[in-house]
Amino acid sequence: MTDQKSPFVVSADWLQDRLNDASIRILDASWYLPAQGRDPRAEYSAAHIPGAVFYDQDAIADLSSGLPHTIPSPEAFAATIGDLGVSETDMIVVYDGPGMMTAPRVWWLLRTMGAKSVFVLDGGMDGWKAEGRPVNAEIPTPRRARFEPRFEPKAVTSFEQMSEIVASGARQIADARANARFTGEQAEPRAGMRSGHMPGARSLPFNLLSSDGKLKSLPELRDIIQAAGIDLDKPVVTSCGSGITAAVITLALQSIGHTDNSLYDGSWAEWGGRPDTAIVTGQV
């Protein structure tokens, strides 16, 4: 890695050189919308990076919330991630299929729960396989670990807090959805969901922040974020469809040294699914 790259990202070369390092934990955090036509668990079972365990983003969640993959309680998260053999003191590498799509959500969640040494694999599994790197279908049986949670509440924005932010404009809102969804020109993928965006939000589609599944350089990230109308000297809340790709913006922000940011966990699944929230359409 160079000083032009995120300190939270590792290359495929870096990880391949360390596949036999017993101190590193590898998580496959792939997740897809139904329209993408990919089954993450089936793909993991067929071929994954040696030693990786599957992290189910739909299961490791607060299933009582009525929303998709809502952040679980620290105690529930600790129990489940411990079952996967992961401790908060481990060095953890998270990857997804295409790269820089869903892995940053787990990077953010692990850090929010107290893990310190967490990284995202540049290029994802698709890039790993395209380069002919080692894979296998052996499902590891991890030894249960103790994960001691140290939850950081400031990393998460609730619906009540989001409502106050929209009303007051106290924090900037960066929306990671595709611009056509942001403007309301494209229907939401979830049935019954209203279209548009929160008043005051800025459109920052998550896929602008990477190329071929690899996070862009720090100067590029800074330029892209600022071009979206985000003032890097002010606080930011990230949002998306259901709280997953918002974390790509969070990763980019923290990579360039912006620390006053949080993630709206309910995101559009919550805001757009309610009848009592303010919604606007069109470009900003």
Sign of the Cα pseudo-torsion (40, 7, 148, 249, in order):
negative
For residue 14, the Cα-to-chain-centroid distance in whole angstroms is 21
Q: Which position has the token pair 């949670």?
A: 149
> What pLDDT was estimated at residue 271?
97
Across 77-82, average pLDDT: 98
Across 203-223, average pLDDT: 98
> What pLDDT was estimated at residue 284?
85
Domains 9-151 and 154-271 share a fold: yes
Region label for 171, one of left (φ > 0), alpha (ψ between -120 and 50) or beta (otherwise): beta
pLDDT tier for residue 181 given thresholds of 50, 70 and 90: very high
Across 96-106, average pLDDT: 98
Q: Sheet of 9-10: strands edge to edge?
A: 9-10, 117-121, 91-95, 24-28, 53-54
> What pLDDT was estimated at residue 190?
86
More reliable by pLDDT, 270 or 1: 270
* Phi, psi (rounded to 5 degrees) for 136: -150, 175
Q: Is the pLDDT of residue 125 over 90?
A: yes
Point out which residues pair with 211 in neighbouring strands.
214
Cite the active site residues. Answer: 240
Point out which residues pair with 9 in neighbouring strands.
120
Task: Read off the pLDDT of residues 26-49 as tens digits, 9 standing for 90 and up.
Answer: 999 999 988 899 999 999 999 999
CA angle 168, 174, 176 (to 5 degrees): 145
Across 197-213, average pLDDT: 98
Is residue 158 classed exposed, middle or buried when 0-12, 13-18 and 19+ CB atoms within 10 A define those classes? middle
**Mean pLDDT for the chain?**
96
> What pLDDT was estimated at residue 188?
93
> What pLDDT was estimated at residue 2?
52
Q: Domain 154-271 adopts which CATH fold?
A: Oxidized Rhodanese; domain 1 (3.40.250)
Q: Which class is 9-151 in CATH? A: alpha beta
What is the C-alpha separation between 262 and 259, in angstroms, rounded?
9
DSSP letter assigned to residue 35: G
Q: What share of the chain has pLDDT > 70, as a percent? A: 99
What is the C-alpha separation between 40 and 96, in angstroms, rounded?
9
> What pLDDT was estimated at residue 104?
98
Query: Of 75-84, 188-197, 258-267, which gets the smallest average pLDDT?
Result: 188-197
DSSP string, 205-253: -GGGGEETTEEPPHHHHHHHHHHTT--TTS-EEEE-SSSSTHHHHHHHH
pTM beyond 0.85, yes or no:
yes
- Contacts (Cβ under 8 Å, ≥6 apart) of 203: 175, 177, 179, 182, 183, 197, 228, 283, 284
Q: Where are the domains of the chain?
A: 9-151, 154-271
Nearest to 224 by CA among 204, 241, 238: 204
Across 109-116, average pLDDT: 98
> What pLDDT was estimated at residue 13?
98
SS3 172: strand
> What pLDDT was estimated at residue 192?
82
CA angle 158, 228, 243 (to 5 degrees): 30
Q: What share of the chain has pLDDT > 90, as a percent? A: 96
pLDDT tier for residue 79 given thresholds of 50, 70 and 90: very high
> What pLDDT was estimated at residue 1?
44
